[in-house]
Amino acid sequence: MKRFLVFTILFLFSFQSCMVFQATKVPSNNLQKTLSGDTNKSPKIVFLGDSITHGRVSYDYVESIRNHPKFQNALVVNEGINSRLTVQILEQLDSVIRFQPDYIFILIGTNDLKATLSKEEYDRYASLWKLKDPVTEDSFIQNLSLILERIQKSTKAKIIVSSPPILGEDPNSIPYLRSKRFAELTKVVATKQKVNYLPLHETLSYELSLHSDLPKKAYVQNTWSMYWTILKYYSTTDSWNDLGTSNGYYFLTDGIHLNERSGQILEKMILETL
């Protein structure tokens, strides 16, 4: 019995260590590393966002674009950081400005909207980032507006803002409706600031409506399920699509992150913009 307990503890420790390593591994083309090297390539393209952009727990659309034949001579930077909210981007814009990119793609808002779903969700972000203020629709609007204003003031970059994707796939669920609301807010800010807007949420919602046979599973907070999905991706031959299907989703892996199916939709929208 004692041996079994020790084995279980070691297994859980190994499981957690493996998951954390794979999930948080920094992209080789992150901004800090890029700034320390040759930055004379052109065009210089920055992808700014959270784990969906980071691409370790989601389809890595940035790396796919980086490897596209048309961008072999471009400098493509992945500045996606897991669990990031708009306030973290706002606080860490100096490096982006110093880089002076030609294009900046911003995909943010999923963690902001998740933090408005429940006290439990908010508390996780508050603990992680030492948040002092509540996360609200107003704080999201204010932060996103300030991000765009500062970039516009300090660079000549063409800015493209994407709406956050769907949260879960049940269009009648509260998480999904909250994601729709934050997509609407993103469009309002982008329109007001006169920057390009990519309707990711709207496109995924439309595509989802074409598949009446799908289960339309709602997002439910389940950290262990997310970790288990990540571990399975890195320890088996399953694709993000396969894992999404096993979790009951069509476009998502775990109710939050993009699989190949939805990630390639976003990728196509970005390539068309570029």
* Domain locations in the chain as residue ranges: 27-212+260-273
Predicted confidence at residue 197, as pLDDT, reads: 98
From 117-126, 176-185, 217-226, the region with the lowest mean pLDDT? 217-226
Distance CA 78, CA 25 (A): 12
Name 122's Cβ contacts closer than 8 Å, sequence gap at least 6.
115, 116, 131, 134, 135
For 189-207, the pLDDT digits (tens) are 999 999 999 999 999 999 9
For residue 118, pLDDT beyond 70: yes
Average pLDDT, the chain: 92
Other CB atoms within a 10 A radius of the CB of residue 17 amount to 10
Predicted confidence at residue 23, as pLDDT, reads: 62
Distance CA 46, CA 178 (A): 27
Residue 6, token pair as written in the block:
């020790």
- Tokens 């897991």, residue? 82
Predicted confidence at residue 224, as pLDDT, reads: 85
Share of the chain above pLDDT 90, in %: 78
43 upstream amide cis, omega within 30 of 0: yes
For residue 18, pLDDT beyond 90: no
Per-residue pLDDT, averaged over 92-119, amounts to 96
Model-level pTM?
0.91
Q: Do residues 86 and 76 make contact, with C-beta atoms less than 8 angstroms apart?
A: no
Pairing of strands 103-107, 75-80: unpaired
For 218-273, the pLDDT digits (tens) are 999 988 888 889 989 998 999 999 999 999 999 999 999 999 999 999 999 999 99
For residue 8, pLDDT beyond 70: no
Predicted confidence at residue 9, as pLDDT, reads: 56
Per-residue pLDDT, averaged over 152-178, amounts to 98
For residue 24, pLDDT beyond 80: no
Share of the chain above pLDDT 70, in %: 91
Predicted confidence at residue 41, as pLDDT, reads: 87
Instruction: List the one residue out of 26, 51, 29, 187 whose CA is nearest residue 110.
Output: 51
For 128-158, the pLDDT digits (tens) are 999 999 999 999 999 999 999 999 999 999 9
Higher pLDDT residue, 23 or 146? 146
Per-residue pLDDT, averaged over 26-43, amounts to 87
For residue 65, pLDDT beyond 70: yes
Topology of the domain covering 27-212+260-273: Rossmann fold (3.40.50)
Distance CA 229, CA 93 (A): 32
DSSP string over the chain = -HHHHHHHHHHHHHHHHHHHHHHHPPPTT-HHHHHTS----SSEEEEEESHHHH-SSS--HHHHHHTSGGGTTSEEEEEE-TT--HHHHHHT-HHHHHH--SEEEEE--HHHHHHTT-HHHHHHHHHHHT--S---HHHHHHHHHHHHHHHHHH--PEEEEE----SSS-TTSHHHHHHHHHHHHHHHHHHHHT-EEE-HHHHHHHHHHT-TTS--PPP---HHHHHHHHHHHHHSS--HHHHHHHTT-SSBSSSSSB-HHHHHHHHHHHHHH-
For residue 7, pLDDT beyond 90: no
Other CB atoms within a 10 A radius of the CB of residue 173 amount to 18
